[in-house]
Amino acid sequence: MSQPQKVALVTGGATGIGLAISQQLLNDGYIVVVNYQASQAAADAFVEGAKAKQQLALAIQANIGVSSDVIRVMDTIVSTFGRLDVIVNNAGITEDGLMLRMNEEQFDRVIQTNLKGVWLVCKYGLKPLMQAGNGRIINIASVAGLMGNFGQSNYAAAKAGVIGLTKTLAREMASRQLTVNVVAPGFIETRMTDKLSEQVKTSALNMIPLKRFGQPEDIAHMVSFLASPKAQYITGQTFVVDGGMTMY
């Protein structure tokens, strides 16, 4: 008797690093549910691309910082596919500024999405993950959560919080054989980094021993490993993918 196809949810999975993760998990044989907030065209393109290859994907619009939206996402996944095996919490926003100039609304919006959103997706995803057995949660943080970053007090605080949340949840879920880990990207080439000045890029390269920026696929490969049976004895850990930038 063949095993049912596993289902993975990738928040913010239609663009950038999230898209690379979604595509990798699709290639790994998962049914991939892509959550998006505003990138409908990109999400639809991913689903259509999967369909063209006889692969199954679904796009769901939702604001992960709102509990009712997250509950709707989980209900849709379970009612459509009957299970959920992997959650990748990738969705995130930035609203940078020096602390002296940053207002409370900027701080709150980033915390709402980047930290509370991860908490909500984990909370409401736990039941279907436990029902499927051997579930995986992979939270995408950032090296900013380990070392801080100029002008990103809100973002760094949220990502540091994700690491602490992950360790706590890993302890709580260990008896259920549900693993929870973090991937912390360094400087990865995306549309966001394309907008940076050459001076900023050169400065960043000088901090990276490998002397090059990472690609979204570098993060996707780590997620693929953590979602696989090869990582069944790994939980509560933070995997830094940064070309050696935060080596210590």
Nearest to 46 by CA among 38, 54, 58, 37: 58
- The continuous run of DSSP H or E covering 9 comes out as strand 7-11
Full-model pTM: 0.95
Q: Is the pLDDT of residue 109 over 80?
A: yes
- How much of the chain exceeds pLDDT 90, in percent? 90
Q: How far is CA 24 from the centre of its chain?
A: 13
Confidence class of residue 148 from pLDDT cuts 50, 70 and 90?
very high
Contact 65, 83 (CB under 8 A): no
Q: What is the pLDDT of residues 10-57, one digit of tens each?
A: 999 999 999 999 999 999 999 999 999 999 999 999 999 999 999 999
How far apart CA 16 and CA 125 sit, in angstroms, is: 23
Active site residue 36: no
Q: Is the pLDDT of residue 172 over 60?
A: yes
In terms of CATH architecture, what is 7-189+215-241? 3-Layer(aba) Sandwich (3.40)
Domain ranges of the chain: 7-189+215-241
Contact 84, 14 (CB under 8 A): no
Q: Is the pLDDT of residue 2 over 70?
A: no
Between vectors from CA 203 to CA 200 and to CA 208, what angle results, nearest 5°? 125
82 φ/ψ sector (left φ>0, alpha ψ -120 to 50, else beta) = left
- Catalytic residue chosen out of the listed positions 30, 124, 155, 248: 155
How far apart CA 101 and CA 122 sit, in angstroms, is: 32
Confidence class of residue 193 from pLDDT cuts 50, 70 and 90?
confident
Sheet strand arrangement including 238-241: 57-61, 31-36, 7-11, 86-89, 136-140, 179-185, 238-241
Lowest mean pLDDT among 21-30, 97-106, 202-211, 216-225: 202-211
16 φ/ψ sector (left φ>0, alpha ψ -120 to 50, else beta) = left
Q: Is the pLDDT of residue 195 over 90?
A: no
